[in-house]
Structure 1
Amino acid sequence: MAGARAYIGSFTSAGGRGVTVADLDPATGALTVAATTDALADPSYLALADGLLYAVSETDEGAVGVFDVSGGAEPRLTGAPRSVDGSGPTHLTVTAGHVVTANYGSGSVSALPLDGGAPSVVRHTGSGPDQDRQEAPHAHQVVADPSGRWLLTVDLGTDSVRICTLDEGRLAVRREVALRAGSGPRHLAFHPEGAHVYVLNELDPTLTVCSWDADRGALAPLDEIRVLADDPKGDAYPSALAVAPDGRHLWTATRGEDVVSVFTLTAGVPELTAVVGCGGHWPRDLAVHPSGRFLYAANECSGDVTWFRVDEAGVPHPEGSVEAPAASCVIFGG
C-alpha cells in the first residue's frame, strides 16, 4: 500500500479545484492533498486505467480528458480533451480499448477508442412521469459487468437500464429493462459474486435489487427497498452506492438528508441496519477503499471528503475530512 493515492473530482464552475491528488495513509485511511489541477473544466467523474486518469468534462460541449499520473503527484493533461458527441457527461468507464461515457444532457452513451477516432454513440429515447426531471432521456452512469461482455447504462429520465455490447468499436443496445415508473435510477453496482445488481434510485429514495445473468446479459428486478429508516424531512436524493469487496455490506448516500445508509447483505439480499451522518452536506459520491476498511463521502456543498472507519457490522465511523471544494467523486489508485 506504499504510495497509495486517492483522486478527487470536482466542479471548477462551482469553485472546485478540478482534479485533486491526495496521499492516502493505509493505516488510518486519512487523506492529505498532494496536488491539484484545473486543466480540465468540471471533471466530475474519474476512472483510472494503466497509469492514466480519465475524466469527464461535465459541460454542455461534453468532453473527456486524459491525465498522466505516472510521473509524480501532479497530473499532466495529455493532449486536448476529446469530444464525446454529447452533452453533460456524468460518468465514464474504461473497457475493451474504449473510454465510454454516460451523457446526462443529451441522453446518450459514447464509446471513444483509446487510440483515437470518432466515438460510437447510442442515443436513448423515452421519458418518465416526472416532467421536471424526466422530460427526456438522461443517461447517468455506464458500467461494465464483471465478465467484461456487457455494458449497463442507467437512465434517470426513462426509468430503465439498457444492456449494451461494444463489438469491434460499435456500441449497440441489446435490450432495455424497465424499472418502476418515476423511480429515477441513477447508479448501480454489482455484488462481487456477480449474480446480483443493485440500482439506486434518485427520484424516490429506494434501492432496486436485481438478478444478473452474465451468460445472457439479462437483468431482472426482484425487489425494491427503502434506503431511509424514516420518511424524509425534506429533500432526499440518493446519489451513490458502494458494495464491500467481501460482499457482506452495501452503503448508499442520500443528499438532503445527508446520510449514509448501511445494509447487510445475506445471499445478496440487502437489509437496512443503520443510518449515519455523511460528515458534511450533499454527499454526491460514496466510495469504499479496496481493503474494505474505509469509506469515503464526497460532500459537494460543504466542500470536503470525509473518511470513515468501517467496523465488523459495516457501520462507518467518521475519522476525519479533507477540504475539497465542490467535490463530486473519489477513486483510488497507486
Structure 2
Amino acid sequence: MTDNAAGERDPGGGRAFIGSFTSAGGRGVVAADVDRETGALTVTGATDAVADPSFLAPATDRAVLYAVSETEAGAVAAFDTSGPAPRLIGAPVPVRGAGPAHLTIASGHVLTADYGSGGVTVLPLGPDGVPRAATDALRHRGSGPDPDRQAGPHAHQVLPDPSGRWVLSVDLGTDSVRVCALDPATGRLTQHGETALPPGSGPRHLAFHPSGGHVYVLCELEPTLYVCRWDAHTGGLDAVAGTSVLPSGAETAGRYPSGLVVAPDGRCVWAAVRGSDAIAVLRLDGPDEKPFLTSTVPCGGHWPRDLTLDPRGRRLYVANERSGDVTWFALDPATGVPERAGAIAVPAASCVVLV
C-alpha cells in the first residue's frame, strides 16, 4: 500500500529518500522534504510496494529512484519521485544473485552488489528509466579466515570510479576490492584486477577522494579505514595504509563500521560505527597519505547503518537502523565535527540519500 502524509511539500527545499527493512517493521521507501535553511526532514509519504528496499540510488536526472530488494530472490525496482510518495514504475526486475545489498548507476546500467551469492549483476536501463533483464552477472570467488562471515564471497558495494572507465566492487567475504570494466554496448563486465586487504578485515564500503587519486575503504570485521592509491588510466588500486576508526584503547569487539562519506573539499571523511553507535571524523589533509582520527561523536541513535552528506556538504544525515530514526547534524566548517540538529522516526532505517 502507499501511504501519503498530509500537508504541502516545500518546493524550495531538496528531497530525501530513506530505505528501510519491511521485514523488520519498516515502511519501505520513505520520502521527505528537506528544509534548505535548517536541514530538517519532513516525511511526505512512503511505499512498501517492494520488500526490504535496503539501499537506494537516484538516477542522474533525479526523476527516478532505484532500490534493491534485499531478499533471497533479489530484485531491483524503479520509482517515480515526482509525487509526495514514491510510485513503483513497472515490475521489480530479478537480479542474478541473492540478497543484493547495494546498487549504483553506471553507463546506462544499474549494477547491484549481491551479498548473499557474492557477485555483481548488470541490468540495462530502458529509455523510460526502468531496468531491463540482466545482461551479466560476475561471480566473485574466494573466502576469508572468519568461518562465520567469510566462508564465501559477499559483495557489499559496487561503484563506478569518477572517470567512468571502471567499476569497483567491495567484497567482505574475500577481503578484497575488484576492478572491472563495463562494456556499455553489451552490458558485460570484465574483471581487470583484484586488490587484497588484510585477511579478516572484511571490507564493506569505499569512497573516492574528490581529486580522484585516492580511494578510502572501510572495513566491517576490523574497524579500520584503508587508503589506497587509485590510477584511473591503468585501473590500478594499491593499498597504502590503515587507520583505526575507534579511539585509542577502545574496545574492538562488537564494533562494526558501516558507511562512509568524503567531504567535497577532500579534507575529512566520516565513518559510521555500529556497536559503539558513533560517527568517526578523520582528517585527510595531513603531511602524508594516511588519514588520522580527530574525534568521535554519538550517532544520535542505535546501529548507524548508513550516512550521507547534503549536496552542499554542510550537514550529515545518519540512518540508525535499530533505533528507527534518521538523525541530521550540522558540520563544523573548520573541524568537520558533527553537532546533532534533529531527527525523525523511520522504523528499521537502512539507507538515506539526498537529491
Q: TM-score, normalised by structure 2?
A: 0.92
Offset at residue 32 of structure 1 (A)? 0.8
Q: Does residue 325 of structure 2 align to residue 296 of structure 1?
A: no
1:119-134 aligned at under 5 Å gives the runs: 119-134=135-150
Distance 1:175 1:249 in 2: 28
Offset at residue 111 of structure 1 (A)? 0.5
Distance 1:212 1:35 in 2: 40
1:95-244 aligned at under 5 Å gives the runs: 95-115=106-126, 116-167=132-183, 168=185, 169-229=187-247, 230-232=249-251, 234-244=253-263
Q: Does residue 49 of structure 2 align to residue 46 of structure 1?
A: no
Q: Report the number of matched residues.
A: 332
Deviations 1:271-327 (A, max 9, x none): 111100000000000111111110011000000000000002100000110000000
Alpha-carbon contact 1:233-1:257 (below 8 Å) kept: no
Query: Of 266, 270, 288, which aligns to 2:291?
Result: 270
2:336 aligned residue: 314
Offset at residue 3 of structure 1 (A)? 3.4
Offset at residue 26 of structure 1 (A)? 1.3
Distance 1:148 1:79 in 2: 28
Q: Does residue 80 of structure 2 align to residue 61 of structure 1?
A: no
1:326 aligned residue: 348
Offset at residue 245 of structure 1 (A)? 1.1
Alpha-carbon contact 1:67-1:75 (below 8 Å) kept: yes
Q: Relative to structure 1, is the Cα distance of residues 282 and 103 closer, same or farther in structure 2, using a 3 angstrom cutoff?
A: same
Aligned partner of residue 80 in structure 1, secondary structure: strand
Gaps of 5+ in 2: 1-10, 127-131
Aligned partner of residue 306 in structure 2, secondary structure: strand
Offset at residue 233 of structure 1 (A)? 6.3
Q: Relative to structure 1, is the Cα distance of residues 224 and 269 closer, same or farther in structure 2, using a 3 angstrom cutoff?
A: closer
Aligned partner of residue 13 in structure 1, secondary structure: helix
Distance 1:298 1:165 in 2: 32
Q: Relative to structure 1, is the Cα distance of residues 158 and 252 closer, same or farther in structure 2, using a 3 angstrom cutoff?
A: same
> Which letter maps to 2:292?
E
1:280-295 aligned at under 5 Å gives the runs: 280-295=301-316
Gaps of 5+ in 1: none
Alpha-carbon contact 1:139-1:156 (below 8 Å) kept: yes
Q: TM-score, normalised by structure 1?
A: 0.97
Deviations 1:33-89 (A, max 9, x none): 01111001000000001310000000000000000113x211110111000111000
Offset at residue 264 of structure 1 (A)? 1.3
Distance 1:269 1:222 in 2: 8
1:253 aligned residue: 272
- Deviates further, 221-230 or 258-267: 258-267
Offset at residue 269 of structure 1 (A)? 3.9
Offset at residue 128 of structure 1 (A)? 0.2
Distance 1:250 1:178 in 2: 22
Offset at residue 253 of structure 1 (A)? 0.5
Distance 1:118 1:219 in 2: 28
**Aligned sequence identity (%):** 61
Deviations 1:216-259 (A, max 9, x none): 01100000110000322641000010111111111001000000
2:44 aligned residue: 34
> Which letter maps to 2:236?
A
Offset at residue 118 of structure 1 (A)? 3.1
2:95 aligned residue: 84
Offset at residue 95 of structure 1 (A)? 1.1
> Which letter maps to 2:51?
A
CA RMSD of aligned residues (A): 1.1
Distance 2:290 2:145 in 1: 29
Q: Does residue 33 of structure 2 align to residue 15 of structure 1?
A: no
2:7 aligned residue: none
Alpha-carbon contact 1:147-1:214 (below 8 Å) kept: yes
